[in-house]
Structure 1
Amino acid sequence: MSKGEGRREPSLLVICGPTATGKTAVAAALAAEVGGEIVAADSRTIYRGMDIGTAKPPPHLRAAVPHHLLDVADPTEVFTVAQYQRLAVAAITDILRRGRLPLLVGGTGLYIRAVVDGLQIPRVPPDWAFRRQAEAEEQAAPGALYARLQQLDPLAAQRIHPHNLRRIIRALEVIAATGRPISEQQRARPGPWRVLVVGLWMPRPILYRRIDRRVDEQLAQGLVAEVEGLLARGVPPEAPAMQGLGYKEIVPYLQGRSSLAAAVAALKRNTRRFARRQESWFRRDPRIRWIDVGDAAPQAVAAAIRAMLAVNGTSARQGGCLERMHVVPAEAEE
């Protein structure tokens, strides 16, 4: 990208938003236009062999545009935010060194914050005994762990959804190990980049239709066989990777504890809930410039973002607005 007189274009572009809003296709279209490379910010696509259920970028997109931080961990591993932060910062630094534009793309808000804000991640290793005990406590008294977190670290409790048991337990684990609130230890040290953060949004009816359609497509692509293969490889159902959408719903079906219809209904329902939680998370960040993409084609959304890149007013001060697009719907494009 050429730089105009006195213009300071972003050196890092973030594309975020709820699941199924088209981030993958939009980012690929934009990266192809501007000479960019994509750094995935998704806590599920990091796992190898988990392609369909995570809606990982398809091979043709990965061949057309360089992608980073896909398939970097085995599903049996625990992959931490600190690990992600280190790899993502290294990838962004390398992309910039080669004179290209890094696009940080995904829906895992904590991953994005860890990179953009330079969160200082507590170096506390997993305590599996603590986690098992915490899970048992939660089963005996649902909501007890979140109530405890509200008492011990109110700020962290504000940032964590009451149903996000994994993050609640992690926060309590850090508090137990260090004697200090995790919110005190996650101090921000923003990176050296000029950042433009763009959020993709669409009305709920459109989003829900897209979610339902994607789930149906995943089933047709072989989601059940993918989950079955992971279990056959020895990936335990309780592994963190298997707790993601598309896997935790199919496992009961494969174990004979649910019908396929019930599993599919649960997956669609849980994905809608997840999308609402993602939107709530991102809405708290005033830096995000939101685009109402509706049913717009990825190329049209990419063009709108490229126009943002070309304007000198792309700082955090301009966030929080909702820009509506009047473009050709994806279905109408040839």
Structure 2
Amino acid sequence: SVELAKKFNGEIISADSRQIYKEMDIGTAKIKKEERQDVPHHLIDAVLPNENFTTFDFKKLAEEKILDIQKRNKIPFIVGGTGLYIRAVIENFTLGATPPNWQLRKQLEEEASQYGKEYVWKKLKALNETEAMKIPPNNLRYVIRGIEKVVSSQWSVVSKNKNSCFQKNDNKYHILKFAIDWPREVLYDRIDKRVDKQIEDGLIEETKYLLSKYDRNLPSMSSLGYLQIAKFLNNEMTLDEAKDLLKKETRHYAKRQMTWFSKEKEVVWINGLNI
């Protein structure tokens, strides 16, 4: 993305639901300043880990950045793996009026697909811990039903055709979509090496620092890396077990991302081995 932005006079807008947070660098694999090669990067380090940040917060900020970049006759590159963020911008989602519960259910299912079931369960726990403790985190159906009991219906958004939790409007941008396709064994090897490097670079220390400042149950702290290392620091598992779990769950997350983007239309897939 940096090379493309340099070649085509562009700036990068990060579409990563974890790199949006300040102080969370190693665990989110945040691009280092020296690696940005003087290409401006936006929506990295935008909010603190204990601040609420939604898909529509991202959409609003991203659209402001797009307008600013275009006014300076440059090209915006939206880069990242949070498909819901990207879709909200390019399909021009809007927040609707107070919806019925089935629409909230659809939204939460989208979030579970993108971020994992435990992410949705942590939302329920933040709303009503007593209710959450009755339900296993991997039982998505009951987690969503629990949220329906306690959450305001204003959480969700509506669709013109009543079959989606979002209202999609006419796209106001001319878009080219690119995605990288890695052979499965190569992708998994890259993930394993990345986890080892994160530990070497100080993921344990970074997690310890974050836990000294922020609640472990915050949605931001459910991120891959911090969640597993927090279990190690809390003596719930050994370091080797935490590393193995992180590698396993990162592979699962990568698989969910590939499934998500494989459903996107008009994507140009690039073989990662040819980059």
- Band of TM-score, shorter chain: 0.7 to 0.9
Q: Is the 8 A contact 1:137 1:144 kept in 2?
A: no
- Structure 1 residue 80 corresponds to structure 2 residue 77: no
- Structure 1 residue 120 corresponds to structure 2 residue 94: yes
Q: Alpha-carbon deviation of 1:288?
A: 1.3
- Structure 1 residue 205 corresponds to structure 2 residue 185: yes
Identity %: 35
Which structure's relative contact order is higher, taking Cα pairs within 8 Å and 6+ residues apart?
1
1:201-280 equivalent positions in 2, closer than 5 A: 201-232=181-212, 234-280=213-259
Residues 173 and 285 of structure 1: CA distance in aligned 2, closer, same or farther (over 3 Å): farther
Unaligned runs of 5+ in 2: 99-122
Distance in structure 2 (CA, Å) of the matches to 1:135 and 1:34: 49
1:286-301 equivalent positions in 2, closer than 5 A: 286-294=265-273, 296=274, 301=275
Unaligned runs of 5+ in 1: 1-26, 149-167, 302-334
Q: Is the 8 A contact 1:121 1:185 kept in 2?
A: no
Residues 132 and 123 of structure 1: CA distance in aligned 2, closer, same or farther (over 3 Å): farther
Q: Is the 8 A contact 1:95 1:101 kept in 2?
A: yes
Q: Is the 8 A contact 2:22 2:46 kept in 1?
A: yes
Distance in structure 2 (CA, Å) of the matches to 1:193 and 1:260: 46
Distance in structure 2 (CA, Å) of the matches to 1:277 and 1:179: 23
Equivalent residue, structure 2, for 1:188? 168
Residues 244 and 71 of structure 1: CA distance in aligned 2, closer, same or farther (over 3 Å): same
- Give the AA of the match of 1:228: K
Equivalent residue, structure 2, for 1:139? 136
Q: Alpha-carbon deviation of 1:35?
A: 1.0
- Residue of 49, 52, 56 corresponding to 2:26: 52
Distance in structure 2 (CA, Å) of the matches to 1:96 and 1:177: 32
- Give the AA of the match of 2:192: D
Q: Count residues with an aligned counterpart.
A: 249
Cα RMSD (Å) of the superposition? 2.9
Distance in structure 1 (CA, Å) of the matches to 2:28 and 2:68: 26
Distance in structure 2 (CA, Å) of the matches to 1:115 and 1:63: 26
1:104-149 per-position Cα deviation (integer Å, ceiling 9, x unaligned): 000000000000001123577x89775546533432992433785x
